[in-house]
Structure 1
C-alpha cells in the first residue's frame, strides 16, 4: 500500500501479518523504491534486537523469503491486515458488545477527552468513565508543537477511527502524526512503567545517506541524545526538538523526542534512552525514522517536520573527526556495533554544547549559581529526615536552591514581603535572579509538626505536575532553614476573593470565572486521585487552599496533610483527625476514615460555596440561618435553589450550568461515601449537558464551624 507524504517527500509501504498461533512478528521491508516501512514491535523493549546484532542484507533477504512463505502457507487461516497511516494497534485481551455499557462509557469519553487535552497546557489528559468491569480509562497526547485546534481535530478523528479499526476491542491505541489516543479497561500507564508502554511502532525511510553515512549516524546519535536530555530535564511538557548541520547532500538533521508529561525526568530519560538504544541502530543509514510508543516516542528526518525553532542545536563534527566522546544514559548500556556500513556507537548524553554568545554564558552561569548544591562543609540539609529511597533523594537533590539566593530574593525575609502565615510558618514573596516571581514557605523552627508536613509536601509535590496544582520550583534545607519554593500566584486564595466583604472583589468572580474554578479544581483532583503516578488523597481541601493565578485559574495547594494510596486501595483509617470543620466528610470526622470520597465531600462543599458566595456555617451572614448544606438542600427540595446564587453577579449566569453545579455539589456531599461520584465522573458531568444527572440524597452530616482547623484523637471503635 503506497501513499505519498509531502512533508518527507517519500513513498510509504506498510506490511503486517499475524501467525496462526496469534504470535505477532516484525518484518522490515526493503522497498525497491524510496519507502517508509513500518514495523509492529513487541511490548517489551528488551526483546528488540540491539544494534550489535543488526542483520546483514543476505540474512534480511533470507528472512523475508521465509516470512513471505509463512504468510502464503497460513493464508487460508488468516485475514491479512494492511496497516496504513495512521497506525492502530488492537489489543486481544478482551472485547465488548455493541450498545453495551462499555461502549456508552467510551462515547462519554469521546465527548470530553479531546476538549480536555486541547485545553491543557501540556496537550495531555486522561479520563475514566463508568465502574468496573465496564470502566473505560483513556489518555490523549498531542505533539508538543501542535496547536490546540489541530490537537482537538486529531483526537476527535481518533475517537471516530479507532473503534472502527479495532472493532469491539476493549484495549486499543492509534498513532497519528499530531496525536496519540489510547483506551483500555485497565489503567495501563502504571507508575513504575518507564518503558514505551505496550506496543511500539518503528517507521523508517529507506532512502539512505550516501556521502558519509558513518559520520551521519554519529551526528544523529549525538543530536538524538541531546534532544532526549532536553525533553527529560529541561521541559515540563517532556518535549524537545533538535537540529544539527550535516553536509551538502542533507544540510540539516532534525529530531524530536516526547514523553507523557506526568513522567518524572528520570522516568522520561529512561523510557527514551531505552527505545533509542533498542531501535536507533535499526535505521542504519536511513534519512528518516520514528519510534512510536504510548509513554514516549522519537523521530528524526533530514527535512523539517516540526513547527517553530529547534530547542536544541548542535554543530556538525568534522568529516574526519570522531563524534564527541559521550557516556551512555544511566541504567542503559552503551550499544556498540562492529565494523561495517551503518554501524556505530549510540551516544546517550552530550556533555558539551558550545554556547554562541557571552550573554548566553552569563545566563547559564546565573542559573547554575541558583541551582548549585550547598557546600560540602554544610550538612545536606537534614536528608536524614527524608526517605532514603533513591528516587526521592534524587528528586530533592535536583531541586536544591541555596539559602543565600532565597534571602536575596525575599529581602532577607522582610516582613513587607510576607504574603501570609499558616500553622507551620510564614509565606514570603520573592524574585529570583532570572526574574521569576516566587512564593517561599518558611518552616517555623519551633514547629515539630511542621517538619513532618513539609517532608510530606516535598515528597509529594515534587512528583506531581498539573496545571491545576501549584508548581514546586525548589527546596532549601541548609543553615537550619527548611524552605519550599513555589510559583507565585498573584490573585491570592479563593476564600479571600470569594468571601471578601468588598463588592469590588466579588465582581472579579463572574459566573464564567466561577465555573472555570469549579471545573479546574475537579480536574486537579482527578489527576491526584486517578491519573498521576501517585494516587493522592489531599485531606485538607478548602477555599483557602485554592490559589488563583493571573487568569483566575485555580491551583490546589498545601499538601502537608496529604497521603499516598496504593492504586487499588479504597480507604485508610487514622486515629488522629486533622483538617477543617465544614469541609471534612462525616466518616472522617467521626471515625477517622478517609479516601478519595472524603476529598469529594470537601469538593462538594466548595462547589456550593462558589455558587452561592457563602461560607458553610457563616454566622456573620445575616441571610444564612443555618449551615450552607442544609440551606441548599431545602431549596433544592423546594425547587428554588437558584435563589441562593450569589446576588453580586447581578443575575448574570447560565441557569443550566448553575443547576448542574449545585446538583454535582449535592451528589458529592451525600452521607454515603459510596454514593459520591469519583472525580473523573464529576469532570464528565460538568463538561457536557447531554448526560442526565442523578438526583442527590440528603447530606448526611452538617458541620457548624467552617473556619476552625482541628487536630483531635478519635475512637476507632465506632
Structure 2
C-alpha cells in the first residue's frame, strides 16, 4: 500500500556521517512501487496544490504547529498530507518553511505520489492513501556530523552523556508535553562540551506510541552515532537530534547538570541509567499526582454521573487527556466571584455562561450546566474529548472542566465579542459587522469545518452548527464551539443513520431531520444556512417558524431566480460593499443547501470557491431544500430548551 512509505520510510540509502549541507533538504521518495503522477498538469498535482493552499496556514496557526489533510480529491488521485514544524519554530517561520516544502517536494521527488521532505524546522509528507495509521518498525535514515575534534578523548563518557540526554529528552517529549516536543541540554563539567538535544513526535500520537517510536530510532541509531559531535534521525512520526552546538530557540525543557552518569551504557531503545531512573521516577510521580487529583475529582462527582462515565467507552489515553484538563471548583469560584451575577455572559437551556479570570491572569468563559440541562454526562464527555484532541485557530479552545459536587462545568477561552447571533440578529449591534468582518467570519467557519471534516486525525461531524455556536474574539475571528453533539466517523464511513435526532431547527439538513441520516454534508447544509444569514442579517428559523409563506432559503431562492438577490442584502451594510462578493457568497450558500447531499460541495471545495476571484465558474444551483417542505409537526418535536446553545434558537430532539 502506498501509504507505507509515509510511515515506515524503508527504501532509502542510509547516508551516515555526512555534514548537514549534504543532501539538504532531505527527501524520501516513493515506496518502491514506482508510483508516479504523469505530468505537471495532472489531477494529482492539482490536488497537491489544493492542499498547499490551506495546510501550511493551518499548521502555522495551530498551537502544535501541526496539521493534516486526508483524502483530498477523488480516487485514484486523492491526496493525504501531514505537516509538522519543529516545536521552537514561530508561526511565520513555520508558514514559510511549509510553503517552500510544497514548492520543492514535487520536483525533488520526481513526481512520486508518495513523498516526504525534511528541513531543519519543518517536514511535509504526502501520499495517495491515508497517512494516519502508524508503523514504527522500519529503517530510518540517520545523519551524523564529524567535525574537527569530533572523536573525543574521553569517548566512552561522552557517548554515555549523549545517550542519557537523548533518552531523557525523548521521555519528556512523550510524557511531559502535549505537543510531543522537548529540548534539552547537558552541562556536566568543564571536561565535556555542553550538549544540546531535541526530540519530537507528531502530536496526534499517544504518549506510549510516541515513546515507542523514539525508542526504535534511538535504540537503532545512537550506537552508530557514537563519537560524533552531532547527529540526527528524521522520520515522519518522530525525530531526534543532538549537537555540541546550540541549534534550538527558546528555553531548554530538560537540563541534566552534575557529574557524568555511571559507566554502564544504556541498553538499546533507552533502557534507563541511574540518571534516567531518577528522571523516570520524577515523571511517574508527576503522572501519579495528576491521576490522583483527577481520580479524587471524579470520586467527588455525583454518583449517577460517575456511573454514566464508567459505562461510556473510555481508553486509558482518553482518561489521561481528560484528567489533564481538570480544574478545581474552588479555583473556578474565585475566578468568577462565586458565579456572580455581574459576570454572567448569557443563559440558555444548557445553563449559564460566566466570565472569569484564572490566577495566572487568563480570561475564561465558564459554561455551568444546569441540573435540568439536556446535555448529559455522555455529551459532556464527548465535548471534553473532542475539543481536547483538535487544534485549529477557528475552533474554540477548551481550557478545562470540572465535575464536583452537583456542578458540571466547561471552561473555554474567553471571546470578547461573545457569539455571532448576539451581534448579527441585533438591529443595533449588527452595524458593527461590516462586510469585511462578515467575510472573515464566513471564511473562518469554512476553514474550521474543513479541518474537522478533512484535515484532523478524526473525521468529525459537528451536527449543531449555528450562529449561537460561533464565537467571536476581539478581532471578530470566528471559532466553532459546542461539540457535545459531535460524532466521529471511521475512515470508511460516509454517513450514519440514527433514530435520535438532535440539533437546531432551521439549520438541520432535510435528510437528517426526516430520516436521521447525517454526514459531513449535514454540516455543509448548516454552513449554507449560516452564510445566507450572515449576508441577509436574518434568521432562517424565524421564517420556518412563522406565519409567513416563505422561509429564508426559499426567499433567497425566489430572489435569485428573478436576479434580484441583491434586494436581500442586509440593509445595515453600506452601499459601497463589493456586490460581486456578496452575490458569490449567496451563490455558495445556495450550493450548500441543495436538496441532495451529493449536490453539496465538500468544505475544501467551498474554501477554494471563497478564495477564487472568478464568479462565473461556480457550479450552477438547483432548487434547494426548504424548511416548510422538509419538516412537519409530526416528524420532530420542538423544545424551547437548548441542548448546547442559547434558548433563542429552538432545538429539536426526536
CA shift for structure 1 position 388: 4.1
Report the Cα distance in structure 2 between the residues aligned to 1:568 and 1:530, rounded to whole angstroms.
Answer: 13
Report the Cα distance in structure 2 between the residues aligned to 1:88 and 1:421, rounded to whole angstroms.
Answer: 54
CA deviations over 1:248-307 (Å, ceiling 9, x no partner): 476432222333344455554554454334433432232111221222322222112223
Whether 1:423 and 2:341 are equivalent positions in the alignment is no
Report the Cα distance in structure 1 between the residues aligned to 2:474 and 2:292, rounded to whole angstroms.
Answer: 27
Partner of 1:442: 368
Partner of 2:83: 140
- Quick one: structure 1 residues 185 and 199, their matched pair in 2 at CA, closer, same or farther if it must change by over 3 Å? farther
Report the Cα distance in structure 1 between the residues aligned to 2:368 and 2:262, rounded to whole angstroms.
Answer: 51
2:376 is paired with a residue of what secondary structure?
helix
Equivalent residues, number: 614
Partner of 1:693: 618
Which of 171, 181, 185 is the equivalent residue of 1:243?
Answer: 185
1:663 is paired with a residue of what secondary structure?
helix
Report the Cα distance in structure 2 between the residues aligned to 1:109 and 1:394, rounded to whole angstroms.
Answer: 32
Partner of 1:65: none
- Quick one: structure 1 residues 446 and 655, their matched pair in 2 at CA, closer, same or farther if it must change by over 3 Å? closer
Report the Cα distance in structure 2 between the residues aligned to 1:90 and 1:349, rounded to whole angstroms.
Answer: 43
- Quick one: structure 1 residues 278 and 480, their matched pair in 2 at CA, closer, same or farther if it must change by over 3 Å? farther
Alignment of 1:65-214 (within 5 A): 85-93=25-33, 94-98=35-39, 99-127=41-69, 129-190=72-133, 193=134, 200-207=140-147, 208=150, 210-214=152-156
Whether the 8 Å CA contact 1:373–1:402 is kept in 2: the answer is no
Partner of 2:271: 335
1:482 is paired with a residue of what secondary structure?
strand
Alignment of 1:318-329 (within 5 A): 318-319=259-260, 322=262
Structure 1 length normalisation: TM-score?
A: 0.76
Whether the 8 Å CA contact 2:61–2:392 is kept in 1: the answer is no
CA shift for structure 1 position 570: 0.8
Report the Cα distance in structure 1 between the residues aligned to 2:206 and 2:274, rounded to whole angstroms.
Answer: 27
Partner of 2:430: 506
Partner of 2:534: 610
- Quick one: structure 1 residues 395 and 380, their matched pair in 2 at CA, closer, same or farther if it must change by over 3 Å? farther
Whether the 8 Å CA contact 1:506–1:648 is kept in 2: the answer is yes
CA deviations over 1:638-681 (Å, ceiling 9, x no partner): 33434433332313444443333323222111111011112222
CA shift for structure 1 position 430: 2.5
- Quick one: structure 1 residues 273 and 412, their matched pair in 2 at CA, closer, same or farther if it must change by over 3 Å? farther
CA shift for structure 1 position 525: 1.5
Whether the 8 Å CA contact 2:15–2:143 is kept in 1: the answer is no
Whether 1:661 and 2:585 are equivalent positions in the alignment is yes
Whether the 8 Å CA contact 2:25–2:117 is kept in 1: the answer is no
CA shift for structure 1 position 372: 3.8
Report the Cα distance in structure 1 between the residues aligned to 2:28 and 2:512, rounded to whole angstroms.
Answer: 46
Out of 128-137 and 600-609, give the one that drifted further. 128-137
Whether the 8 Å CA contact 2:67–2:82 is kept in 1: the answer is yes
Whether the 8 Å CA contact 1:443–1:451 is kept in 2: the answer is no
1:289 is paired with a residue of what secondary structure?
strand
Alignment of 1:490-505 (within 5 A): 490-502=416-428, 505=429
1:297 is paired with a residue of what secondary structure?
strand
CA RMSD across the alignment: 3.8
Report the Cα distance in structure 1 between the residues aligned to 2:651 and 2:16, rounded to whole angstroms.
Answer: 68
CA shift for structure 1 position 604: 1.0
Unmatched runs of 5 consecutive residues or more in structure 1? 1-21, 39-81, 337-343, 355-364, 714-718
CA shift for structure 1 position 172: 1.2
Unmatched runs of 5 consecutive residues or more in structure 2? 1-8, 632-637, 639-646
Out of 225-234 and 202-211, give the one that drifted further. 225-234
1:255 is paired with a residue of what secondary structure?
strand
CA deviations over 1:398-421 (Å, ceiling 9, x no partner): 322222222222223333323223
CA shift for structure 1 position 209: 5.0
Partner of 1:306: 248
Structure 2 length normalisation: TM-score?
A: 0.83
1:539 is paired with a residue of what secondary structure?
coil
